[in-house]
Amino acid sequence: YKNIVSDFYSSLAYVASCVDVNDNSLKALQYANKSLELNSNNIEAYEALATHLYYNGGVEKNKKIKEIITKVEKIDTNYKNSKDNLLYQLLDDNSKN
């Protein structure tokens, strides 16, 4: 049950993180954190957090995204080698800016 609810919150967080509205930005952060409270291994919640940081993280966002990548790689050691890993895409896009 916790995993299902955690997945639900991470989905809400991801959707809210992609919208450039301050209220949605706060909701994204709240949903992602709630998801991780229920399941600390929820990679999708970490991706939602990183997406939130990408759009709203300010100067420190690159550092924070790298910290999230470190946590995710402890959960899934093959994450870096995955072609569709969102975290590295955000990091690469952020490094270009």
pLDDT at 75: 93
Name the helix (H) or strand (E) containing 6: helix 2-17
Length of the chain equals 97
Q: Along the 97 residues of the chain, how does pLDDT read in single tens digits?
A: 888 899 998 888 888 777 665 666 778 888 888 999 999 999 989 988 888 888 777 788 889 999 999 999 999 988 888 777 888 888 766 555 5
pLDDT at 14: 80
pLDDT at 40: 92
Q: Which residues, at least 6 apart from 91, have a Cβ–Cβ distance to it below 8 Å?
A: 62, 65, 66, 69
CA distance to 16, 51, 86, 88, per residue, from 97 (Å): 23, 15, 17, 14
pLDDT at 23: 65
CA distance to 8, 29, 41, 80, per residue, from 34 (Å): 10, 9, 12, 25
Q: Residue 13, CB half-sphere, CA atoms under 13 Å: how many?
A: 26
pLDDT at 16: 79
